[in-house]
Amino acid sequence: MPRAAQPTKPSSDPSTGSVWTRPQRSRREQPALSRDQIVAEAIALLDEDGIDALSMRKLGTRLNAGATSLYTHVSNKDELIELVVDRVYGEIEVPKAASRAEWRAAALECGNNVRSAILGHPWIASVLGEMGMSYLGPNMMRLTEDMLELFESGGFDLDQGELALKTIWSYVLGTAATEAAWMTALARSGQGQDEWLASMASVAEQAMAPYPRMRRLHAEQGTSGVVETRRSNFDRGLDCILDGLEAQRRQ
């Protein structure tokens, strides 16, 4: 979860277990591989095959380098994952709001940008809860700063802005991670979305049989496409959160 940036002195203690809390290793000779190359190829591997396929050995093979070459930049796979997660955060844009009247639309767009980044890399859902030091990554730092600026433009002070940021971030990550997990399961099934839904229809109907409200809700939502329903539900939920944040700000 993002937090307001605070001065942090990097630690050389390896027990902290984060790529962001130790000095980068130095070498007299220029390494054949750059960190950017390693991270880019790791993301390509993750997007193609998922989190279970990621290993230092396999990544080294894709880069035509031994796994030991990667350890110039990272100590282990956990540090590599920190780097790829921060790179994904770098894809997220925070819109600027020129006036207080525009901040809400910008906040809604920002939430959808975060959601899009996660759904573009569904594997990320399985690792977000393990990224305890993610707020120290440069892209997360930039993202946090830009979001605080967005809330400031909407009339929030820094304390209110941090609360708003954490609240929205928790909602977006939780919702998008659930969607991403579903997309991952769908990909593993080898079926298309419509095919999978058709195969599950009778099972779902049997499970909902004792629950009239669930049946009615399912029937109402069944008239819309799954993608449209997910997007609509996401926006409606985020609107409710923004309503609450605005009410708190006015107090």
* Domain boundary assignment for the chain: 89-250
Distance of CA 21 to CAs 17, 46, 91, 199, Å?
Answer: 8, 24, 23, 48
Band (pLDDT 50/70/90 cuts) for residue 7 is very low
Amino acid at 19: V
Report the percentage of the chain scoring pLDDT > 70: 88
For residue range 130-145, list pLDDT tens digits in order.
Answer: 766 777 899 999 999 9
For residue range 107-119, list pLDDT tens digits in order.
Answer: 999 999 999 999 9
Token pair, residue 131, equals 């990224």
Q: Is the pLDDT of residue 193 over 70?
A: yes
Which of 120-134, 144-158, 169-183, 204-218 shows the lowest per-residue confidence on average (mean pLDDT)? 120-134
Of how many residues is the chain composed? 251
Token pair, residue 144, equals 């946090």
Surface-to-core class of residue 104, CB atoms within 10 Å of its CB (0-12 exposed, 13-18 middle, 19+ buried): middle
CATH assignment of 89-250?
A: 1.10.357.10
Which of 19-28, 41-50, 104-113 shows the lowest per-residue confidence on average (mean pLDDT)? 19-28
Q: pTM of this prediction?
A: 0.82
The predicted pLDDT at position 130 comes to 72
Rounded to an integer, what distance in angstroms lies between the CA atom of residue 73 and that of residue 24?
7
Rounded to an integer, what distance in angstroms lies between the CA atom of residue 74 and that of residue 140?
19
Query: Which residues, in sequence order, are CB contacts of 154 under 8 Å at separation 6+?
Result: 97, 100, 103, 104, 107, 249
Q: Is the pLDDT of residue 62 over 50?
A: yes
Q: Is the pLDDT of residue 11 over 80?
A: no
Rounded to an integer, what distance in angstroms lies between the CA atom of residue 99 and that of residue 165?
18
Band (pLDDT 50/70/90 cuts) for residue 201 is confident
Q: Is the pLDDT of residue 182 over 70?
A: yes
Q: Is the pLDDT of residue 13 over 60?
A: no
Rounded to an integer, what distance in angstroms lies between the CA atom of residue 172 and that of residue 235?
10
Mean pLDDT of 183-202: 82
Buried b (16+ CB within 10 A) or exposed e, 28-53: eeeeebebeebbebbbebbeeeeeee
Largest CA distance in the chain: 70
